[in-house]
Structure 1
Amino acid sequence: MSAPGSLADTHTVRSPGHVEYGTGAVAALESFATDHAADTALLVTDDHLSSSGVIDAPRARLEAAGLDVAVYDGVVPEPKLSMVESAAARIRDAGDVLVVGVGGGSSMDTAKLAATAATADESPRELLGRDNVSGRSVPLALVPTTAGTGSEVTDVGVFADDRDGGAKKVAFSPHLFADLAAVDPDLTKTMPPSVAAATGLDALTHAVESYVSLDRTPYTDTLARRAVELVAENLRPAVAQGEHNDAARARMSLAATLAGQAFINSGLGAVHALTYPLGMECDLGHGLANGVLLPHVMAYNVPAEIERFAGVASLLGAERRPGESTRAFASRSVDAVFDLLSDVDVPTSIAAYGEFDRATFERFADIAFEHSAHNIAANPRRMDRGDVVSVFESAAAGR
């Protein structure tokens, strides 16, 4: 086996069936509906998007294709398996139906697993884990309204298990890939600044972790580098100006999709492992937890991938000083992320979200290894339980 990211090896690219990107991409739903000849479309979304009119554009395209449109808007952030069960029941009852997930990662993940559960006529809980989905006959389209999760182009779904104290559970299967991902930045116009910041930092975390993952490939490197660069150039104006900066929002949508396509083919790293217990304990959204932890995990990882983190520093806009060592420049990738957090009003310490002690961090480490060992295994620097505790302590101390 060659070094990670080597062109000397053969690599597989996993991808959804079709990606339509750009302003007006939601129009692709019309031909998607026509091609699949269903009678009904079920929009899977949340109550805010349903009541605020954000789903009107997808609905109009589906109705233009002659479909009756029903709405399941029971999704909430950090979706629960019970919501997937409710959505799957609606799909089964609808008969000849196609499913369209509209929203952030929560709505899209719910749509993915509900469509597969409806096909299998099984409980979503039985489909958790790796490759436990036997197939999906229900057509599935995903339409993001945030710029961060990349869920529209991934084959995973993350859910809170109502029966297990809200523990996060993951489903992995190629059957979770959408038939169509319609990435239309027009649908991100109503994102509040806090959501734009959190989801943008989620995209950055995906890109950075993909770029240094032990399972990276030349394909994922290309996607990850460009995603980091796009976030560095556009997250600040996308948060500060929102609907008044179409270009920044469009580039953030592209960054999120590229980063999603990158990490689904490279794996992630320790940030995503440590996010599990932090999110559960503090009720933090996934993107925000990723963003707060990212620079602290990066600081731990720099010694293992000095050249790569020097590249990240450059992509984030840092300029190498005369005589500066590669190691010192690599560490400035961490400073660049801290600066970005501050500029989009996100804390640089987890202490902003609660009081912690070493016993708590030891418990967090147990949770991380129990639920996300695969992410720790792909991390570029080896980690044991004590290392995880140390990173949490650093994250509590802050910058």
Structure 2
Amino acid sequence: MTSFNFETSPRIVCEQGSAARIGELAKGLGASHVFIVTDEFLHNSGLTKSLLAGLEAEKLKHTLYTDVLADPPEASVQAAVAQAIASGADAVIGFGGGSAMDTAKLVALLVRTPQDIPSIYGVNIACGPRLPLIQVPTTAGTGSEVTPISILTTPTDEKKGVVSSALYPDIAVLDSTLTLGLPPAITAATGIDAMVHAIEAYTSRHKKNPLSDALALQALKALHDNIRTVLAEPKNADAREAMLMGSLFAGMAFANAPVAAVHALAYPLGGRYHLPHGLTNALVLSPVLRFNQPAAAMLYAELERALNIQASSDDQVASLAFIERMTALVAEMPFTQTLSGNGVREADLPLLAQDAMAVQRLLINNPREVTLADALAIYQSVY
């Protein structure tokens, strides 16, 4: 008998131009004053115009918070919480990439149920209730609009996660028109990030289940089949929408079948060097796939067959073809492909490996056990 538990955001709105409807959606959640969590660049670029117009049409008050930082430090989240409390807002909108949405989750929670951030790192420690929450992704990558996870940077430059069902948003809004202006490097890195979510959910040692598998396969195919198109045709709203859907499906999958070694090795690069999360996942993806292949051949073969109906029936052959497929795809992406090229110091590789080994919350999900020597060798292979 198959036993599993599956959770996700209760409502998903996918429609080009739907950012203009967010005021209506917020009003439906009982909001009268919304706290918008975004970053200064997105706001100054005009991307929030349709959102703000929709709030005005519904006569909703709003407070705009634009001080979101990449890999949000604890202090920046605390500052956002303090401003939300002072504003008197009764609902929260996360508008942006993963950093904005992760910040918004904790603002919605901590305004309503105050808790000390360091005390709630881990799984099912943070408790609710929270304010109503709407998430609006402007990149096709994190899937944060359908996950119960918020990743922060500690004062010691570690990346830690708050994981709790209380963080699932009420509504996820997918509006591909918001992603049309994404630069190629960000489009590429976030797209690979979403593909990593799908791959690691499908191969996770814990909580893998039929629903997460189906979503991971659908996600990987949508992302794989459209990432080259959105890079070649950045204004293609339909392909952008397919990428958003792939990211959302992958988010649903890994929220229930958690990620593993790729993310564990990526986190220290973000924490120590503040490299974008999608980029760090992309940098270590291929060596981790090669490392895992002896233990994950059958699963990698199934992923290859989902992408190529003519793939070999031999698991070893198909799994190696999948690894080569992903390696070649990453190599096509318009970002620097090595750690050294992204400013990582060779002398820091042992420290990064130690940091990665501390992320046991994720390493325990990996198909193959990772040792300190393995982690160091993976970093060295892409240095």
For the criterion TM > 0.5, the same-fold answer is yes
Q: After alignment, is 133-142 or 179-188 more displaced?
A: 133-142
1:395, 1:212 → 2: CA distance?
Answer: 22
1:376 to 363, 379, 382: 363
- What does residue 326 of structure 1 align with? 315
> For residues 163-213 of structure 1, what are the alpha-carbon distances to aligned partners after superposition, in whole Å with 9 as ceiling and x for unaligned?
32x221211111111111111111111111111111101100000011111
**Partner SS for 2:67:** strand
Structure-2 residue corresponding to 1:278: 269
- Alpha carbons 1:42, 1:70 under 8 Å: kept: yes
Partner of 1:388: 375
1:47 aligns with 2:40: yes
Gaps of 5+ in 2: none
* Maintained 8 Å contact 2:140/2:243: yes
**1:155-166 alignment to 2 at 5 Å?**
155-161=148-154, 163-164=155-156, 166=157
- Give yes or no for contact 1:99–1:139 (8 Å, CA) kept in 2: yes
Partners of 2:71 and 2:118 in 1: CA distance? 16
Amino acid at match of 1:391: I
Q: Deviations over 1:240-289 (max 9, x none)?
A: 2212x112111000000000000000011100100122223333111110
Q: Which residue of the other structure, out of 66, 78, 83, is the alignment partner of 1:73?
A: 66
* Matching of residue 138 in structure 1 with residue 144 in structure 2: no
C-alpha contact 2:259 2:365 (8 A) present in aligned 1:
yes
* Equivalent in the alignment of 2:160: 169
Determine the structure 1 residue equivalent to 2:185. 194
User: 3-state SS of the aligned residue for 1:338?
Assistant: helix
Partner Cα separation in structure 2 for residue 38 and residue 280 of structure 1 = 35
Residues matched between the structures, number: 382
- CA shift, 1:12, in A, is 0.7
Cα contact 1:28–1:182 (8 A) shared by 2: no
Tell me if the contact between 2:200 and 2:259 (Cα under 8 Å) persists in the aligned partners: yes
1:351 equivalent in structure 2:
340
Q: Is the 8 A contact 1:227 1:258 kept in 2?
A: yes
1:233 corresponding residue in structure 2: 225
Distance 1:197 1:16, change over 3 A: same
Counterpart Cα distance in 2 of 1:318 and 1:279: 36
**2:71 touches 2:271 (CA, 8 Å); kept in 1?**
no
Identical counterparts, % of pairs: 32
Q: CA deviation at 1:9?
A: 1.7
Find the residue that maps to 2:38 and give its secondary structure: strand
In structure 2, distance between residues paired with 1:96 and 1:199: 31
Whether contact under 8 Å (2:150, 2:161) holds in the other structure is: yes
Conserved? CA contact 1:117–1:127, under 8 Å: no
Extract structure 1 runs of 4+ deviating beyond 4 A.
316-319
Distance, in Å, in 2 between the alignment partners of 1:214 and 1:249 is: 31
Report the Cα offset of residue 302 of structure 1.
1.2
What does residue 54 of structure 2 align with? 61
Structure 1 residue 31: deviation in Å? 3.2
Normalising by structure 1, report the TM-score. 0.90
Q: Please say which of residues 294-303 and 57-66 is displaced more in the overlay.
A: 57-66
Distance (Å, rounded) in 2 between the aligned partners of 1:127 and 1:60: 36
Using the TM superposition, give the Cα deviation of residue 319 of structure 1 relative to its aligned residue in structure 2, in angstroms: 4.6
Which residue does 1:204 correspond to in 2?
Answer: 195
Is residue 119 from structure 1 mapped to residue 119 from structure 2 by the alignment? Answer: no
1:297 aligns with 2:285: no
What residue is the counterpart of 1:3 in the other structure?
none
Q: 1:351 to 1:334 in 2, by over 3 A?
A: farther
Residues 249-288 of structure 1: matches in 2 within 5 Å? Answer: 249-288=240-279
Farther-moved stretch of structure 1 (49-58 vs 383-392): 383-392
| C-alpha RMSD of the superposition | 1.9
TM-score for both structures, normalised by structure 2:
0.94
Q: Give the conservation status (yes or no) of the 8 Å contact 1:306–1:326.
A: yes
